[in-house]
């Protein structure tokens, strides 16, 4: 910290003067005020790091000054000095937010210790605050494409409710980020966000993981365990990869959703829980239902608010913002100066099809920052695959290229025709999926499936 600036508000000139000498000798910067009014003005103008405040002053007394200071700046530490050091004044000053209380007459050491403590605490708190800010940046949703705006609007509508949310989309599109954003903007934000990756937990353990177990309820259950649903009580549980749950677990989860209660394995007692459920999957649950892998009743319970996070190649407008965001982020992380990026490099990044979506883009940018020696990222600094046309999202009509000529079978011909038809209609409708689906008379989900099947991605001008 540079020289800390201390504002002393005291009506006695002799005390101000002695404090000035002590403080300046110890390397502090001194600012003095003879009245409460003057002190308040200086507090705003001089941005002090700490205030030493006398209680008994003519005009506005110290306690009132303290109260007003709190209104303008509730983090500024204030140490109160008083010759009338009755307990009640001390208590009141503390209640109003003073960090310490010193009685007159005081030894200068006493003042210095108090200052040091208060300033250290403040520095810690400031550091915490910037850490928290770094966390916020990490959880920020970047992008302003129409597609992402629609997602954000859905998040905004879902957040304040207790409704169950089902988030679906390809791997790496930001489903977890969406889930966390909903929780952070919900009334449950102060309580826990408990995440369970249903695909990563072995079948035989998932029930005890979710619902807990009593000691001795099965071989290996040497201690009792509180389940994730209980841990998430009053908060949010995030069931990630929900499409991978076994039928038995599905049945139990359904019961929690219906009854709001859980039963630990090996216990007959039911425990009430108040949990908001957010689920995510990269599977097509409707197909899983058809195949008999997923319970339809559970699906409807989960999908009260469905949110589809579209793949990155369908929202190329977000790519420049994301690239900038991650370039700055990884420059900070690696302690290097932020780099520039040339237009050809940015255009190549926008054309690439990003099968791994934002996760892949993030990793690519991280590598780019580490590997590029110069101040500017250019085309040769990108990974081979990103640069090559093979990696680009297809924008050509198969009919006007080699695809049509190669159609040897009736099926290939039909597929090519269907693909060309869809691309044409999408173009006509400005790549608006809902509108296109409506125009060609097919459900939106079906159109998404086709886009995936034919790997159709929105064309970019680059």
Ligand X SMILES: Nc1ncnc2c1ncn2[C@@H]1O[C@H](COP(=O)(O)OP(=O)(O)OP(=O)(O)O)[C@@H](O)[C@H]1O
List interacting residues with ligand X (CB under 6 A).
Answer: 141-143, 169, 171-177, 282, 322, 358-359, 362
CA distance 39 to 55: 12
The least CB distance from residue 140 to ligand X, in Å, is 6
- Neighbour-count burial for 424-440, b at 16+ CB within 10 Å, e otherwise: eebeebebebeebbeee
| CA dihedral over 165, 169, 172, 174, signed as positive or negative | negative
> Is 191 near Mg ion (CB under 5 A)?
no
Choice between 359 and 425, CB closer to ligand X: 359
327 binds, among ligand X, Mg ion, none (CB under 5 to 8 A by kind): none
Nearer to ligand X, 264 or 362 (CB): 362
Q: Looking at the DSSP assignment, which residues form a beta bridge with residue 427?
A: none
Contact partner, 282, from Mg ion, ligand X, none, Cβ < 5-8 Å per class: ligand X
Instruction: Count other C-beta atoms under 10 Å from residue 382's C-beta.
Output: 24
- Least CB distance from residue 390 to ligand X, whole Å? 23
In this complex, which beta carbon is closest to Mg ion, that of residue 213 or of residue 276? Answer: 276
CB 279 to ligand X: min, Å: 12
Q: Among residue numbers 157 through 176, which ones bind Mg ion (CB under 5 A)?
A: 176
Min. distance of Cβ 332 from ligand X in angstroms?
15
* Residue nearer to ligand X on the CB measure, 123 or 171: 171
Closest Cα partner for 305 from 445, 140, 156, 197? 156
Helix (H) or strand (E) holding 280: strand 276-281
Q: Which is nearer to Mg ion, 76 or 177 (CB)?
A: 177
Nearest C-alpha neighbor of 426 from the set 399, 450, 402: 450
Indicate the DSSP class of residue 293. S
Decide: is 233 part of the binding site for Mg ion (CB under 5 A).
Answer: no
Q: Pick between residue 176 and residue 191 the one whose CB is nearest to Mg ion.
A: 176
Three-state DSSP class for 369? helix
* Rounded Cα–Cα distance for residues 253 and 297 (Å): 11
Q: Binds 177, which of ligand X, Mg ion, none (CB < 5 to 8 A, cut-off by type)?
A: ligand X
12 belongs to the binding site for Mg ion (CB under 5 A)? no
Sorted by sequence, the CB contacts under 8 Å of residue 453 that are 6+ apart come out as none
Q: List residues binding Mg ion (CB under 5 A).
A: 176
């Amino acid at each position: 910290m540079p020289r800390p600036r201390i504002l002393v508000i005291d009506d006695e000139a002799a005390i101000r003067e002695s404090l000035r000498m002590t403080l300046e000798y110890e390397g502090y910067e001194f600012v003095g005020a003879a009245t409460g009014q003057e002190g308040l003005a200086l507090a705003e103008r001089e941005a002090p790091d700490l205030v030493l405040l006398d209680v008994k002053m003519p005009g506005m007394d110290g306690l009132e000054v303290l109260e007003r200071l709190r209104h303008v700046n509730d983090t500024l530490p204030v140490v109160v000095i008083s010759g009338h050091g009755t307990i009640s004044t001390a208590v009141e000053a503390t209640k109003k937010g003073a960090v310490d209380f010193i009685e007159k007459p005081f030894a200068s050491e006493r003042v210095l210790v108090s200052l040091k403590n208060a300033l250290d605490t403040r520095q810690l708190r400031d550091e915490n605050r910037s850490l928290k800010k770094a966390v916020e940046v990490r959880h920020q949703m970047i992008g302003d494409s129409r597609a992402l705006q629609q997602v954000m609007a859905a998040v905004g509508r879902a957040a304040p409710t207790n409704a169950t949310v089902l988030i679906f989309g390809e791997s790496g599109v930001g489903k977890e980020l969406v889930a966390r954003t909903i929780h952070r903007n919900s009334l449950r934000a102060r309580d826990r966000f408990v995440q369970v990756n249903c695909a990563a937990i072995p079948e035989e353990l998932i029930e005890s993981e979710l619902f807990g177990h009593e000691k001795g309820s099965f071989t290996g259950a040497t201690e009792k365990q509180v389940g994730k649903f209980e841990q998430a009580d009053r908060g949010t549980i995030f069931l990630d990869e929900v499409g991978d749950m076994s039928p038995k677990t599905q049945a139990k989860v359904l019961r929690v959703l219906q009854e709001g209660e859980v039963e630990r394995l090996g216990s007959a007692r039911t425990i009430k829980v108040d949990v908001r459920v957010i689920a995510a999957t990269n599977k097509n649950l409707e197909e899983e239902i058809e195949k008999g892998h997923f319970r339809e009743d559970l699906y409807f319970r989960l999908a009260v608010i469905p949110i589809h996070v579209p793949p990155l190649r369908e929202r190329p407008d977000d790519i420049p913002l994301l690239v900038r965001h991650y370039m700055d982020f990884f420059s900070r992380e690696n302690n290097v100066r932020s780099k520039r990026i040339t237009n050809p490099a940015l255009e190549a990044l926008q054309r690439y099809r990003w099968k791994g979506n934002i996760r892949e883009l993030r990793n690519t940018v991280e590598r780019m920052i580490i590997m590029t020696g110069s101040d500017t990222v250019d085309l040769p600094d990108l990974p081979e695959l990103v640069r090559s046309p093979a990696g680009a999202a297809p924008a050509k009509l198969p009919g006007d290229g080699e695809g049509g000529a190669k159609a040897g079978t009736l099926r290939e011909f039909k597929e090519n025709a269907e693909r060309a038809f869809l691309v044409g209609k999408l173009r006509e409708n400005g790549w608006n999926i809902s509108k296109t689906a409506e125009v060609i008379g097919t459900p939106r989900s079906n159109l998404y499936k086709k886009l995936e099947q034919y790997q159709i991605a929105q064309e970019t001008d680059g």
